[in-house]
Amino acid sequence: KAGVTQTPRYLIKTRGQQVTLSCSPISGHRSVSWYQQTPGQGLQFLFEYFSETQRNKGNFPGRFSGRQFSNSRSEMNVSTLELGDSALYLCASSSTDLGEQYFGPGTRLTVT
């Protein structure tokens, strides 16, 4: 099976802009989780989607949002970008609610 794919791999944006990141889960996986990874804060959970519904959300401002499509592909959006949003954004998919997650290669977002 193909692994989790994320596009784009790299992005450079300017403060105030918005950005959309895409994630395609492993075939058959219906749960998609998003994480932000920074050197200072480590890996932090953003949100999880299952069957097009957000089931869980981490402690991030409303500028961070996401959605999931009927084919389980997911997107996350960050509006009004801030310098502190520079990070590696990782997507993970899982076939079960509480099981292991399989990660994509991430999208490296740089905000200038």
Closest approach of other proteins to the CB of residue 53, in Å? 11
- Tell me the C-alpha distance between 8 and 97, whole Å: 27
Closest approach of other proteins to the CB of residue 6, in Å? 8
- Tell me the C-alpha distance between 32 and 24, whole Å: 9
Stretch that binds other proteins, among 13-21, 60-68, 72-80, 87-95 (CB under 8 A): 87-95
Joined together, the tokens standing for residue 30 give: 């219906």
Q: Which is nearer to other proteins, 53 or 70 (CB)?
A: 53
**Residues in 43-62 at the binding interface with other proteins, rule: CB under 8 A:** 43, 45, 48-50, 55-56, 58
Rounded-to-5 percentages of helix, strand, coil across the chain: 5, 55, 45
